[in-house]
Amino acid sequence: MASSQVLVGFHAVSARLRHAPASVKDIYVEAARRDRRMLALLEQAQAAGRPVHPVAADRLEGLARGQRHQGVVALAESLALAMDVDEVLDDAQAPAFLLVLDGVTDPHNLGACLRTADGAGVQAVIAPRDRAVGLNATVARVACGAADTVPYLTVTNLARTLRALKERGVWVVGTDDEAERTIHQIDATRPIAWVMGAEGEGMRRLTRETCDELARIPMRGSIESLNVSVASAVCLYETVRQRG
């Protein structure tokens, strides 16, 4: 049986109602709120045949466990989008396009990365199991539904997974501020996996050594590096541009 998941906020709940309405068990809404946004959500829930329970604000606070709920919380079944990397590659209808996050622990960053990955058409986001944040309520809220559409695969050994990708013809490119080549000099039309390091620390040594190539994002100002979610967006959309 699928495990339970708490969806917090309009984006997360509305996206799940669009993508997998049958997985939504119960929706709890703030009884006193009846603005246009709430009425649109109630209409969406009714069309999907999902039960809605008007409750007091303090009940929502308890369900959201401290997350900013905006007046809506849903209990749903967790979705299993993919079992492993091989399945993702086997099912891909285009050259491999993957995002690897080496130790991203901030749920806001992960949520933003998933949202960008969805927009760019990334086939999966990969992270090490012991050095990464899970798909919690904050991630789901920031991802605005992308946590339900982009497979987030956690692996026990990231370096081994990268080597397996290389054996399947995927070019593994790590991002490094000190790299000689820029991301614009990378051939992103080939099957590619972009590797991003953790906030502040960058990629681990073994991860760096396993990459086929390193590249940097050109920086014109005084700041030396970008937030990992912004850096991910820049690299992913360079791939979109080249493949366009």
Which run of H or E residues covers position 25? strand 24-30
Contact 203, 169 (CB under 8 A): no
Q: For residue 53, give the 3-state DSSP assignment.
A: strand
CA–CA dist 235, 156 (Å, integer): 25
Q: Which residues pair with 172 in a beta bridge?
A: 193
- Residue whose entry in the numeric block shows the structure tokens 């080597």: 163
Query: 192: Cβ–Cβ under 8 A, 6 or more apart, which residues?
Result: 95, 96, 97, 98, 170, 171, 172, 173, 186, 239
**How many other β-carbons are positioned within 10 Å of the β-carbon of residue 111?**
26
Exposed, middle or buried by CB within 10 Å (0-12, 13-18, 19+), for 218? exposed
197 is in an annotated binding site: yes
Q: Which of 239, 238, 243, 232 is nearest to 111 (CA)?
A: 232
Tokens, residue 152: 């987030």
Q: Which of 85, 92, 97 is nearest to 193 (CA)?
A: 97
217 is in an annotated binding site: yes
Tokens, residue 49: 């045949």
145 is in an annotated binding site: no
Which residues are known binding-site members?
197, 217, 226
Annotated binding site for S-adenosyl-L-methionine: 197, 217, 226
